[in-house]
Each structure stands twice: as C-alpha cells, then as structure tokens.
Amino acid sequence: MSRKNVIAANWKMNMTPSETASFLDSFLKTFPEPTAVEIVLAPPFVSLPKAAELMAGQSAVGLSAQNMSHEASGAFTGEINAAMLKEVGCQYVILGHSERRSLYGENDVVINKKVHATLAAGLVPILCIGESLEERDGGQLEFVLSQQLEGSLAGIDAAQMPGIIIAYEPVWAIGTGRTATPDQAQETQCYVRSVLERLFGGEVAAAVRIQYGGSVKPGNAAELISQPDIDGFLVGGASLDPASFADIVKAGA
Ligand code: 13P
C-alpha cells in the first residue's frame, strides 16, 4: 500500500497575518503546482483568513488549524468551532499536540471528542501522540502510546481511519534540537502502526499516514523520510522560514 507523504508546518503561536503573507509570497512561488507530497500549513487562527486568501486558486498547499473545540456553538469563550474553520477555508486540524496536552490540560477524552467533531465536519484530523523522556526512559513508551491511541480514537470506525493522520512527536524532541534518530523514530512508528493494526486491522493500519515531528530540519529530513513507517513530518521551528520549510518538503518528495 503506498501512502502519500504529508508534510505539515505547525507555526504554533508565531506568524501574524502580515508575516503569513510574506511567507506565502515566497513559499507559493517554490510550489506553484501540486507536488508528490501533500503540503499543509497550520497558521494561528487569526492568520487563517489571510492564508486562505493567498492560497485561493492553488491546490499545492492545504490549510490547517492548530486546535478546535468539539462543541458545535454556544457559550464557550475563546473557542473556535468546526464550522468557523471550514468557512475560512481549513481542510485539516491539528489535535492533541503535546503543548495542548501539557500546558492546557487536554486529555485523551477531550481529544477523542475533537477527533469525532473534526470528522463529522469533513475536516482531516492530524492527531498528535508522543511520550515524555521520563516515560521512554522508564520503559513506558509502548504503554503511553497505546493508551493515547486507544483513548483518542475511541468509537472511530475502521472505515474512518484512513482519513486521519497520526503525528508521532516524542515530547523530548520538540523544540529541543534533539531529534529521534531515524532508527528510534522508525521503531516507534512501526509500533504505532502495530497498535492501529490491533485496533482496526492490517489493511487499515497500512493505509494510515504517520508523521514524525520533533526537531525536523532540512539536514535530517531525508534520512528520516527514508524510513518505511515515516509518512511525512509535522514541523515546528524549521517551518517558520519559507526556504527551510521548502527544503524539508523537497526532502519528503
Ligand atoms: P519543532 O520542529 O520546533 O521541534 O516542533 C515540533 C512540533 O511540535 C510540531 O508540531
């Protein structure tokens, strides 16, 4: 089963609308046509309309939000729902990023509700999972990842799974400059796929794309993407510069 690599830029709390415009001015010239990889940009909420405006009429790059409420509407101050994201042109939503889990108390129960809401709205969830260094060093790696997958994917049908992207991001590799080695990432992502196989069957597990995230740079992207179970990247810091993100995309193609 061949899986199309998907390379996503998670800008986190960076890039105002005007900074988004100057990034896209440069980046879209590099990729005027669709490439062999799926490219996704995830600006902060307020920069989504500017990004959508500049991306209109091209199909090389897709648009993602970084979070979403599972609620449909109502008295939820500060939250953003699926309909709002769709109206501004999003096709994807990053869910359960480790920063959301550790800084904003999101757990697998709430992330699971968000996965369901995202799919119901026709958006593609990019579901993040990953272990801390203590968990890895303490022999908890497989337990933590299988708990996160079982919890956040509860009630999801096998038929829905190919429409979900999993992002494996070891917490100790995020923003630290300490990348998982290609072997470490491959071994772990092979394990993630084995959990998907247990939950949804082999055919589905073979179809689901699993990204790696954590200090991906132009210099390490080619070796990471050559691993059989790495189907793309979720890139933080190195995605803020159009040339550096373009180099990562080219490595993934
Ligand atoms: P860095 O690429 O900055 O390590 O961030 C990874 C990440 O968290 C992407 O979601």
- CA 217 to ligand 1: nearest atom: 2
Question: Is residue 151 in a domain?
Answer: yes
Q: How many domains does the chain have?
A: 1
Give pTM, 2 decimals: 0.97
The enclosing domain of 137 has a CATH number of 3.20.20.70
Annotated catalytic residue 97 = yes
Does the annotation count 70 as an active-site position? no
- Give the model confidence (pLDDT) of 30-69 as tens digits: 998 889 999 999 999 999 999 999 999 999 999 999 999 9
| Closest listed residue to residue 175, CA positions, set 14, 37, 63, 20 | 14
Give the CA count within 13 Å in the CB-facing half-sphere of 94.
Answer: 34
| Residue 45 included in any domain | yes
Q: Is residue 1 part of a domain?
A: no
Residue type, 112: N
**Which residue of the set 38, 70, 97, 131 is catalytic?**
97
The reply to whether 148 falls in a domain is: yes
| Strand residues in 71-148 grouped as ranges (E) | 92-95, 124-129
Assess contact for 245 and 26: CB atoms under 8 A: no
Q: What is the pLDDT of residues 208-227, one digit of tens each?
A: 999 999 999 999 999 999 99
**What three-state secondary structure class fits 137?**
helix
Ligand 1, residue 97: give the atom nearest the CA: 10
Question: What is the best residue among 216, 220, 245 to mutate for testing ligand 1's pocket, by most ligand atoms within 8 Å of CB?
Answer: 216
Radius of gyration in angstroms for the set of CA atoms belonging to the chain, rounded to a whole number: 17
Per the structure, the complete domain to which residue 202 belongs is given by: 6-252
